[in-house]
Structure 1
Amino acid sequence: MQISRLFQIIYILLEKKSITARELADHFEVSVRTIYRDIDALSEAGIPVYSTQGKGGGISLIDNYVLNKSLLSQLEQDKILIALQSLSATGYPELKDTLSKLSSFFNKSNINWIEVDFSNWGNYEKQKDIFNLLKSSILEKRVINFSYFNSIGEKSNRNVEPFKLLFKDKAWYLIGYCLEKNSVRTFKIIRMANVFITEKSCTHTDSHELSHKSSGDFHTKNININLKFSSEGAYRVYDEFQEKEIIKNEDGSYTVISQMPEGEWLYNYLLSFGTMLEVIEPQNIRDEMARRLNILISKYIY
């Protein structure tokens, strides 16, 4: 997001002689402190931007400055546009505006060859609202408060210093320092509700040491698992497992030997295969699957 904002700041400064940090902050919905960090980043990158204090002052570019697109190769230009198109999947309208301007600047007309959409059917607006809140809290380094439902349906209230958003295995996650647990935690965004930004500033940073201690939905122990799929499950076997993990049997069935994170997620995932799957090993997973299936069967037998 910062790269996108930096390009937009340059275009705004090219169009206007001068603009205040507050005006830029209001435009991008970030703090004035964030804008000054952006200005420092532009200066370090060799962009001749400067600020003046007092009445009539503001942020400006040196007169007659022209953004030189020849500094970037054709491949680098394409990579920037592809990255912005991928980021537009998060639903932020300013990315589309930046993409349009850069495409025109680079003389690129075919920019619609890729479309990425990470949102689930039916909950786009809700997820977009949460994304905007999380974006602001991360950039402004402010604590965020929300209700959270864990993998077994338990509800808790959390105050978290947000570090970053992560897309992993078909879902979005927030990684941050949980003030209730006093450790780095990972939260599945779809399980978050009643999200709001507090006035409290963050005191922790996303250091390597803290990240190493991270725990959450997918920071669990992996176990070796042996699965057998009927031939009808081939489409999911090849979609969801690596080729080196798959063995095609003589009768048309498939054996998959893989590693998966242990926990409630695993049983829900395995049950999603229905009658196409049989768990061979480990025995404790096989037994637990049988127990859950018996409970399910009892609901349909009168």
Structure 2
Amino acid sequence: MQINRLLEIIYILLDKKIVTAKELSEHFEVSKRTIYRDIDTLSAAGIPIYTNKGKGGGISLLDNFVINKSMLSEKEQIDILSSLQGFNALNAVDVEPVLKKLSTMFHKKNTNWIEVDLTQWGSNSDNIDKFNLLKTAILNRNIVSFNYFSSYGKITERTIEPMKLLFKGQSWYVYGFCKDKGDFRIFKVTRMKNLSCSNETFIREVPKYSWSTTEDYNNKMIKVILKIEERMAYRIYDEFDEKDILKNLDGSFTVTMTFPEDEWVYGYVLSYGNYAEVLEPKYIREIIKRKFEEGLKKYL
């Protein structure tokens, strides 16, 4: 208890600059004599803490003590806080107290510059709960199980050793060792249902990975060239790199996209409705044409 109290006294002094013994004794619910003994202990340990008597006096630390004693540069301090702020914005558990303490220690008060919402518009908080469960499982090395909906429409039960959360192409993924397949795989978080975390742990280390070596991403990569009407400009600039966009004289756009070939790509092209036309390759153009015809039959 005394060690915790000594550390918190330092945090309080860093935050408030000067505090009276009476305020500290009331905060910790101990006597002022105990507080003065704590001050002597801190001073004996080399902490530059001192007291001033009289009106306006109290207990304080030498200015910039922690920063001067720190082995972290100004940039390193900012980088650490930025990482914690980003993690805290994801509603990660137990990050706020650490962020507050380090912000006080580094004398940095702007800790509210980023906000991230993992949920889609109109959805509930399931994705946040899922994210936190996966984060906890990764840190504690717990095995997780779930039902997975593949890009081919198949539903499978999976048990994995989760190792990393990845963000790519506006989506979250989990990278881990799939015990059902006996190999490393990547799973899209939104396709994971009935997620549960077991008490069983694993000891496997995280290897270097490649998107192209996983089940969902070792399909043949294809380059699709689309002509998209001008009124879809908001989507084009949201979803494509500027180097892949060519503005045509008639106001339309020619866009090049490269993805693994599967049903997702076909669905993505179809999501533009009659505002997009596949120029190349020809066989993808025929696939999209056939899917439009099959969809039209449902309305005839």
* TM-score, normalised relative to structure 1: 0.72
Alignment match, 1:274? 273
Please state whether the residue corresponding to 1:207 is helix, strand or coil: coil
1:111-137 residue CA offsets vs partner (Å, 9 max, x unmatched): 323323333234453222222322232
| Closer/same/farther in 2, CA of residues 119 and 185 from structure 1, 3 Å limit | same
Alignment match, 2:51? none
Distance 2:260 2:157 in 1: 25
Give 1:1-302 correspondences, 5 Å limit. 14-15=7-8, 63=45, 68-70=66-68, 71=70, 72-208=72-208, 214-301=213-300
How far apart are 1:277 and its partner, in Å?
Answer: 0.7
| Closer/same/farther in 2, CA of residues 125 and 212 from structure 1, 3 Å limit | closer
How far apart are 1:192 and its partner, in Å?
Answer: 1.3
Structure 2, gaps ≥5 residues long: 10-43, 49-64
1:135-185 residue CA offsets vs partner (Å, 9 max, x unmatched): 232222232111112123321111111111111112111111111111111
Distance 1:193 1:145 in 2: 9
Distance 2:46 2:269 in 1: 63
How far apart are 1:68 and its partner, in Å?
Answer: 2.8
Larger Rg: 2
Please state whether the residue corresponding to 1:252 is helix, strand or coil: coil
* TM-score, normalised relative to structure 2: 0.72
Alignment match, 1:39? none
Please state whether the residue corresponding to 2:125 is helix, strand or coil: helix
| Closer/same/farther in 2, CA of residues 274 and 96 from structure 1, 3 Å limit | farther
Distance 1:181 1:13 in 2: 52
Whichever residue aligns with residue 7 of structure 2, its letter is L
Conserved? CA contact 2:118–2:127, under 8 Å: no
Distance 2:200 2:112 in 1: 41
Conserved? CA contact 1:187–1:216, under 8 Å: no
1:188-235 residue CA offsets vs partner (Å, 9 max, x unmatched): 111112222234332532222x65884143453321211101111222
Please state whether the residue corresponding to 1:110 is helix, strand or coil: coil
Distance 1:132 1:162 in 2: 13
Whichever residue aligns with residue 92 of structure 2, its letter is Y
Structure 1 segments of 4 or more deviating over 6 A?
10-13
Distance 2:275 2:186 in 1: 32
Please state whether the residue corresponding to 2:94 is helix, strand or coil: helix
Distance 2:6 2:267 in 1: 52
Conserved? CA contact 1:186–1:214, under 8 Å: no
Please state whether the residue corresponding to 2:299 is helix, strand or coil: coil
Distance 2:216 2:152 in 1: 11
| Closer/same/farther in 2, CA of residues 272 and 14 from structure 1, 3 Å limit | same
Alignment match, 1:51? none
Q: Identity of aligned pairs, percent?
A: 41
1:270-297 residue CA offsets vs partner (Å, 9 max, x unmatched): 1122222101111111111111111221
Distance 2:236 2:100 in 1: 40
1:64-96 residue CA offsets vs partner (Å, 9 max, x unmatched): 579832333333332222222211232214222
Please state whether the residue corresponding to 1:204 is helix, strand or coil: coil
| Closer/same/farther in 2, CA of residues 211 and 241 from structure 1, 3 Å limit | closer
Structure 1, gaps ≥5 residues long: 1-9, 17-61
Please state whether the residue corresponding to 1:68 is helix, strand or coil: helix
Distance 2:290 2:149 in 1: 24
Aligned length: 247
